[in-house]
């Protein structure tokens, strides 16, 4: 039976099976975000058909994150103790059906309910997927593999906005929700045939005379895993500041282009998609550069995010405050590359500094914090500020959140290496390998 040594990174399963699992994880992540953000391109149609306010439109995005916020932690704990592949497959089917149900809604309340259901389905995907990737690949490759995986976020977001706008303009907004739901459902069925790793027992090393014994972890020990690590705390808070910015931009950039750059609806959605799509480059490049620097500097997985989020803050401020037209687009395109570069290293930290049997839970806690303080608030806050002061002024608060993230990453970098050394080293065994 093949095993993965968490220090040597021995391949736990054949390469073809590892790649197959990884590809399905990528595709599910992409359709996760397509289903999540297709609603953004439908804002003008919903505003016209149902007379919704900007605050109500923002709620349709925030609703997903509120559900994720509620369900991620318990689902993440279930994934750690039960099955990664079964959890991911079931959740993916659920969120696809919820997306399809949105096509049959008759009013705002019904559509809002389907958005809550989508969030409930998506709640455990990232923790479960992150834990599987951590087990499939050795630590020295972890950031780059997370970087490629996270390219699915901007790709899915961009495709959701672009496809939604195109389908809605030509066939109606209900068709947009129905069509994007189908591929995710098919891939979810396929995921039930991947190889999962066996649930890691929650034991800790206990020094004894001339030996090291293993003892079952108590609830207090488990809780300590998530609060003793200062680098983990800083990463979680920084992630929230980044999520506030990126989700707000994804939600409101098409409307900004339409209102202040004079773009028609379809072009506004397309140009916003292009900005987000460039993060497809930023995520894998960020992961690759982080791992390269990590070989020379143990603090790289937090220093690199500190640099890139601060740079993104400068680019976004200059673009929104000083520029218009092609100059604005050029600045936003550059920011589209840098704004996601923090994520591979940051996610790797959530896996590096905790017990291997708690990796899904660790990423769940990160998601809860980033949604509670970031994603769930971003679209709603910008929508509310837009109703009072105008969307152009509302968006100018976002660079400050990116700068805050950079400061938090920098502070956390001083604690990372010691936190890694304290983390338990446990072998991971794959089923049938």
Per-residue pLDDT tens for 124-161?
888 888 888 988 888 888 889 999 998 888 788 878 88
Residue count (the chain) = 433
SS (H, E, C) the chain: CCEECCCCCCCCCCHHHHHHHHHHHHHHHHHHHHHHHHHHHHHHHHHHHHCCCHHHHHHHHHHHHHHHHHHHHHHHHHHHHCCHHHHHHHHHHHHHHHHHHHHHCCCHHHHHHHHHHHHHHHCCHHHHHHHHHHHHCCHHHHHHHHHHHHCHHHHHHHHHHHHHHHHHHHHCHHHHHHHHHHHHHHHHHHHHHCCCECCCCCEEEEEECCEEEEEECCHHHHHHHHHCCHHHHHHHHHHHHHHHHHHHHHHHHHHHHHHHCCCCHHHHHHHHHHHHHCHHHHHHHHHHHHHHHHCCCCCHHHHHHHHHHHHHHHHHHHHHHHCCHHHHHHHHHHHHHHCCCCHHHHHHHHHHCCCHHHHHHHHHHHHHHHHHHHHCCHHHHHHHHHHHHCHHHHHHHHHHHHHHHHHHHHHHHCCHHHHHHHCCCCCEEECCC
In the chain the domains, ranked by start, together with CATH numbers, are 3-423 (1.20.1250.20)
Q: Is residue 76 a contact partner of residue 363, using CB atoms and an 8 Å limit?
A: yes
Give residue 334's pLDDT band: very low, low, confident or very high (50, 70, 90): very high
* 316 pLDDT higher than 90: yes
Mean pLDDT of 168-196: 90
Q: Is residue 11 a contact partner of residue 18, using CB atoms and an 8 Å limit?
A: yes
Q: Is residue 151 a contact partner of residue 279, using CB atoms and an 8 Å limit?
A: yes
Rounded to 5 degrees, what are φ and ψ at 324? -145, 165
Q: Please tell me the predicted confidence (pLDDT) of residue 208.
A: 62
Per-residue pLDDT tens for 2-26?
333 333 344 456 778 888 999 999 9
% of the chain surpassing 70 pLDDT: 95
* 415 pLDDT higher than 90: yes
């Amino acid at each position: 039976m093949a095993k993965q040594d968490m220090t040597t990174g021995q391949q736990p399963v054949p390469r073809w099976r590892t790649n197959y699992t990884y590809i399905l994880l990528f595709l599910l992540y992409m359709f996760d975000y397509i289903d999540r953000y297709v609603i953004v391109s439908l804002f003008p149609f919903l505003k016209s058909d149902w007379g919704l306010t900007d605050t109500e439109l923002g709620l349709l995005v925030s609703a997903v994150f509120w559900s994720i916020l509620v369900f991620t932690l318990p689902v993440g704990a279930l994934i750690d103790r039960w099955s990664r592949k079964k959890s991911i497959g079931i959740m993916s089917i659920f969120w696809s059906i919820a997306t399809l149900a949105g096509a049959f809604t008759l009013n705002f309340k019904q559509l809002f309910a389907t958005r809550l259901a989508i969030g409930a389905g998506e709640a455990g995907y990232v923790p479960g997927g992150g834990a599987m990737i951590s087990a499939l690949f050795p630590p020295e490759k972890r950031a780059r593999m997370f970087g490629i995986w996270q390219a699915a976020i901007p790709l899915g977001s961009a495709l959701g906005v672009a496809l939604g706008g195109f389908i809605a303009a030509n066939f109606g907004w209900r068709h947009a929700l129905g069509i994007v739901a189908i591929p995710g459902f098919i891939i979810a069925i396929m995921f039930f045939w991947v190889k999962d790793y066996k649930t890691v027992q929650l034991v800790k090393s206990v020094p004894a005379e001339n030996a090291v014994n293993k003892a079952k972890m108590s609830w207090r020990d488990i809780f300590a895993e998530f609060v003793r690590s200062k680098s983990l705390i800083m990463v979680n808070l920084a992630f929230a500041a980044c999520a506030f910015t990126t989700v707000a931009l994804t939600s409101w950039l098409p409307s900004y282009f339409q209102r202040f750059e004079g773009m028609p609806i379809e072009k506004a959605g397309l140009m916003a998609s292009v900005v987000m799509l460039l993060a497809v480059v930023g995520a894998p490049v960020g992961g690759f550069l982080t791992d390269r620097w990590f070989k020379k500097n143990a603090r790289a997985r937090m220093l690199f995010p500190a640099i890139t989020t601060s740079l993104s803050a400068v680019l976004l401020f200059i673009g929104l405050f000083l520029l218009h037209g092609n100059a604005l687009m050029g600045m936003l395109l550059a920011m589209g590359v840098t704004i996601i570069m923090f994520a591979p290293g940051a996610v790797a930290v959530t896996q590096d500094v905790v017990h291997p049997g708690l990796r899904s839970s660790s990423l769940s806690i990160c998601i809860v914090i980033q949604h509670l303080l970031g994603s769930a608030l971003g679209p709603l806050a910008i929508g509310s500020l837009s109703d009072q002061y105008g969307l152009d002024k509302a968006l100018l608060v976002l660079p400050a959140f990116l700068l805050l993230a950079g400061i938090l990453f920098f502070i956390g970098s001083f604690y990372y290496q010691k936190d890694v050394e304290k983390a338990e080293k446990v072998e991971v065994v794959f089923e049938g390998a």
